[in-house]
Chains A and B, each alone.
Chain A
Amino acid sequence: MTKQPLIELQNVSFQYEYTNVLDHISLTINEGDFLALLGPNGSGKSTMLKLILGLLKPTSGKVMLFGQDANKFNHREWIGYVSQKSNSFNSGFPATVKEVVASGLVKSLGLFKRKAPNQDKLVIEALQSVGMESFVQRNIGELSGGQQQRVFIARALVAKPKLLILDEPTVGIDYENVQAFYDLVAHLNARHNMTLMLVTHDVDVVSSKISHVACLNKTIHFHGFKDDYVNLTKDELSEWYGMSVRKIHSHKEEPTK
């Protein structure tokens, strides 16, 4: 059985006010992959996610989602998205955890339908998967940053997406919760065959769980299996990024740094 490509970037470039943010990017993510997207600040990671999410249109090239042109793609409910914490939400917003998670069903329900018949059950299940079911009636603004982030993951999971995109989801979360968080997403990938694309700086923590790595700095410098990435030399990495970067520690090697 060949795996279906869920995301294909074909020679994609993006310019913002005459500056090249992304330069001829080609990248494929197949069903079941767990890809970590690495790159320094300003390397275009967030722009790339926005192109995939349809928030931006490429200057040239083509974005394909589930084998369809992204412009015509009409199954956004197949893609779950968790943005960087507190990016776009107003923490004084008067809503309960339940209301926030239920809002993740907005696309799968379709226009004019007010509620899924088993909505309460779906919301509780999504909250259970992130260990937040006891917070269902709490106000979203009362929660800590890490708890809010788990609620937003539940919002992404409630519609049972096939692909989950996470943009630096652990920024502002303390170390122990970061571990627990990656255990959770690894579980979703392994047990529920959810395809994952993760933008992160937590290379060390996540390395044992991912299957693929892509390194981005305006253009894709490396894309392949994690094991090949581990075997890259430090010089190669520095050359691509123009700066020194942490390598993934494989268990065979002594930790560098």
Chain B
Amino acid sequence: MISSIFQYEFLQNAFLAGIIIGFIAPLLGVFIVVRRLSLIADALSHVTLAGIAGSLYLSQSFIGLATLNPLYLGIVAAVGGSVLIERLRRLYKHFEELAIPIIMSAGLGMSAIFISLAQGFSTDLFSYLFGSVSAVSRQDLYIVIGIAVIVTAFIYLLYKELFVLSFDDEYAQASGLPTKVVHTLFMLITALVIAASMRIVGILLVSSLITLPVAAAIRMAKSFKQTILYSIIFGELAVIVGLVSAFYLNLAPGGTIVVTSIIILLIVLISKKIILAVRAR
């Protein structure tokens, strides 16, 4: 496989994009999980699907748009969805989680309409749903790199603000932080990470790459920085093992990456249990 990577451009694209996503998704995922926003990430991924399906339909219907990269409309949909979720969360102050099914069903409903309008998309759509080793173009890779730069800079520069906001929302406000601005930016960044990740893991499984490595890391880490480090290690491990097995077994990488993450999680949970049992003796 190592030699194939140098040989085929599509494999280079998939692996580079995968390694980048294996870094940014768990990095952002730590903040998403501790802020209890995991389900919001899931809802956003379904909105992204509506953007992708809409774009594929447009490319099919208008020759002028035939070469439009569906990632662009996917990003627009994800960002729009994140703004709408925030609006709804403020509107239903006492039922904040209500925003999730509303946005999720809206996204899936619109996707269903676009898909049936175009009378199905066959393999193309399948690769967006569950990821693909072969479908990542050079242009996709550049978009992923661009998003990774923005996400990493955001978390690097606003690390302490994000930490305070995640740990203790009220304290963050009382400290005079612009919590609304930071939170809104955070949701936009989440939308970008989802759009970037879906080419590799697929829309339906994006949120797993954001949450599963963190779920394992949180059981092991003592500090917040350690949680971030372990999450990234687990994320990278899942992406690399997942992509290699997807390539050799001719499977959708979304599936292999998620199953690898689940195995990592199980190993961590079981070893933690054993360690605790041994210590208790």
Contacts and interface: CB of A to CB of B under 8 A. Distances in A.
A83 B171 contact: yes
A102 B161 CA distance: 11
Given A94-B221, A103-B163, A103-B164, A77 B170 contact: no
A95 B174 contact: no
Given A89-B167, A94-B34, A94-B227, A53 B160 contact: no
B224 interface: yes
Contacts of A83: 170-171, 174
Contacts of A74: 176
B180 interface: no
B157 A88 contact: no
Contacts of A112: 157-158
Contacts of A96: 222-224
Interface string B168-188: 111111111100000000000
Given A53-B174, A99-B163, A103-B163, A94 B169 contact: no
Contacts of A94: 34, 217-218, 221-224, 226-227
Contacts of B174: 53-55, 76, 79, 81, 83
A98 B275 CA distance: 25
B44 to A, nearest CB: 22
Nearest to A52: B174
A30 interface: no
Given A99-B223, A111-B161, A139-B222, A93 B177 contact: no
A87 interface: yes
B224 A77 contact: no
B30 to A, nearest CB: 8
A106 B223 contact: no
Contacts of B121: none
A21 interface: no
A83 B171 CA distance: 8
Given A76-B176, A99-B163, A81 B171 contact: yes
Among B166, B169, B172, B173, which residue has the most Cβ atoms of chain A within 10 A?
B173
Given A76-B176, A94-B34, A106-B177, A137 B170 contact: no
B146 to A, nearest CB: 21
B164 A55 contact: no
Contacts of A98: 223
A191 B173 CA distance: 29
B34 A106 contact: no
Given A54-B176, A77-B175, A106-B164, A99 B170 contact: no
Nearest to B30: A94
Contacts of B225: 99
A95 B173 CA distance: 20
A137 B34 CA distance: 20
B: contact size bracket: 20 to 34
Contact of A88 (B171, B177, B217): B171
Interface string B217-251: 11001111111000000000000000000000000
A245 to B, nearest CB: 29
Contacts of A54: 173-174, 176
A246 interface: no
Contacts of A88: 168-171
B166 to A, nearest CB: 8
A90 B223 CA distance: 14
A148 B175 CA distance: 19
Contacts of B218: 92, 94
B159 interface: yes
Contacts of A55: 170, 173-174
Nearest to B230: A94
A155 B168 CA distance: 12
Contacts of B156: 114
A141 to B, nearest CB: 10
A116 to B, nearest CB: 10
Contacts of A87: 170
A137 B167 contact: no
A90 B221 CA distance: 16
Nearest to B163: A103
Contact of A93 (B167, B170, B172): B167
Contacts of B224: 93-96, 99
Interface of A: 53-55, 74, 76-77, 79, 81, 83, 87-90, 92-96, 98-100, 102-103, 105-107, 109, 111-112, 114, 137, 139, 155
Interface of B: 34, 36, 156-161, 163-164, 166-177, 217-218, 221-227
